[in-house]
Amino acid sequence: MFTAFLIKYAEIGVKGKNRYLFENALVQQIKYALKKCDGEFAVRKTDGRIYVDAVSDFDYEDAVSALQKVFGISAICPMVYVEDEGFDKLGKTVVEYIGKVYPDRNKSFKVAARRARKNYPLNSMEINMELGGVILDAYPEMHVDVHNPDILLNIEVRDNIYIYSEIIAGLGGMPVGTGGKAMLLLSGGIDSPVAGWMIAKRGVKIDAVYFHAPPYTSERAKQKVVDLARKVAAYTGPIYLHIINFTDIQLYIYDKCPHDELTIIMRRYMMRIAEHIAKETECLGLITGESIGQVASQTMHSLMATNEVCNLPVYRPLIGFDKMDIVALSEKIDTYETSILPYEDCCTIFVAKHPVTKPNVNIIRKHEHNLDEKIDELVQTALDTDEVIIVK
């Protein structure tokens, strides 16, 4: 029955002079999301609102689930349009609407009319009263409740008349592309995809980097990261995924540094390389999936040691989350099933039995100093052999 959607957006509403930028970005993101759906749609911005009109037959569930993946939408209201062919026609359509949308009519309702077109012969109050009467005549089992109705039937009189009552929650947040770009350190784990999703939700475009260590990590481990990037891209749009071959760097560190410091030193090199790519690709920050105390490399001391090698801000949206909450979020955004596939990621190969939990930055620096110029060459080679996959 529905032929269109009214898109409600929350925070964009308060952006003052820049509001149009946010609205335009949202329109772009909606168009992008709907491209993958069955059916053709027109997205328009009219009267400070965004409407999605179906211009062909379409798959309703498919369209709703695509819109539910767009950041910046607070609510999706499926609508019916009627051309204004007199009040009787409107009354008939409303009765038909309720008949179809609410098979169980043991419900209270309220009509909320808005007359944006002032030359309509009835004013809002009159529309409410008259339509209320028509509905009660058709469905005597329904009753009016103006304070707390089960069904709030919105009638908007514009050039056409719009009818809607269902409100489907959107994700909230800001449209991707309104907040600059950041580089996500994406591993095959549970945490980093969720971290990227959370930052993207605030309007930030995401690129990603994965440190691959063949043959210690398999092609399947790499494919798993590509699959995770694809899951995140369903919300964020295309992700440029940089695959960095980390094997020689890892082996060299393994060879030269105390094993209990391996993870920290490796993490410092990951951050350095990620920052280098980030700066070259106009990213304004790095994103990781770290959370205080989750593992040895994520204590306050360890975080301080990994953080000190970069100048760009490092966003760690999961920093105060318990694992349970991260898992719940990864289930919600549909990355969990992929994240728990068993393929090893590069850190699990080279983990020490007893990694330091309180690394001393001065000692770490000293051991890194032993890596001499050779490490710079290895880093340069890793950067030169960066493989970029555009994940959609």
Nearer to ligand ATP by Cβ, of 154 and 297: the residue is: 297
Output the smallest distance, CB 217 to Mg ion, in A.
Answer: 11
Alpha-carbon distances, residue 317 vs 136, 178, 196, 200, 285 (angstroms): 51, 18, 8, 11, 12
| Binding partner selected for residue 132 from Mg ion, ligand ATP, none, CB under the kind-specific 5 to 8 Å limit | none
Residues that bind ligand ATP (CB under 6 A): 185-187, 189-192, 209-211, 270, 288-290, 294-295, 297-298, 345-347
Interacting positions 165-194 with Mg ion (CB under 5 A) = 187, 189
Which residue of this chain has its Cβ atom nearest to ligand ATP in the complex? 189
Output the smallest distance, CB 158 to Mg ion, in A.
Answer: 52
Nearer to ligand ATP by Cβ, of 178 and 339: the residue is: 339
Binding mask 69-98 for Mg ion (x = CB under 5 A): ------------------------------
Contact (Cβ atoms closer than 8 angstroms) between residue 217 and residue 211: no
| Binding partner selected for residue 153 from ligand ATP, Mg ion, none, CB under the kind-specific 5 to 8 Å limit | none
Contact (Cβ atoms closer than 8 angstroms) between residue 292 and residue 303: yes
Q: What's the gap between Cα 237 and its chain centre?
A: 9
Mind giving me the DSSP string for 291-306?
A: -TTSSGGGSHHHHHHH
Output the smallest distance, CB 250 to ligand ATP, in A.
Answer: 10
Contact (Cβ atoms closer than 8 angstroms) between residue 120 and residue 78: no
Q: How large is the angle between the packed helices 361-369 and 300-307, nearest 10 degrees?
A: 40
Interacting positions 280-319 with Mg ion (CB under 5 A) = none
Phi, psi torsion values for 342, nearest 5 degrees:
-75, 0
Output the smallest distance, CB 297 to ligand ATP, in A.
Answer: 5
Q: Which residues of 250-263 are buried (b: 16+ CB within 10 A; e: fewer)?
A: bebbeeebeeebbb
Q: Find residue 206's DSSP bridge partners.
A: 182
Nearest CA to 294 among 334, 321, 271? 321
Nearer to Mg ion by Cβ, of 34 and 274: the residue is: 274
Output the smallest distance, CB 314 to Mg ion, in A.
Answer: 16
| Binding partner selected for residue 152 from ligand ATP, Mg ion, none, CB under the kind-specific 5 to 8 Å limit | none
Residues near Mg ion (CB under 5 A) are 187, 189
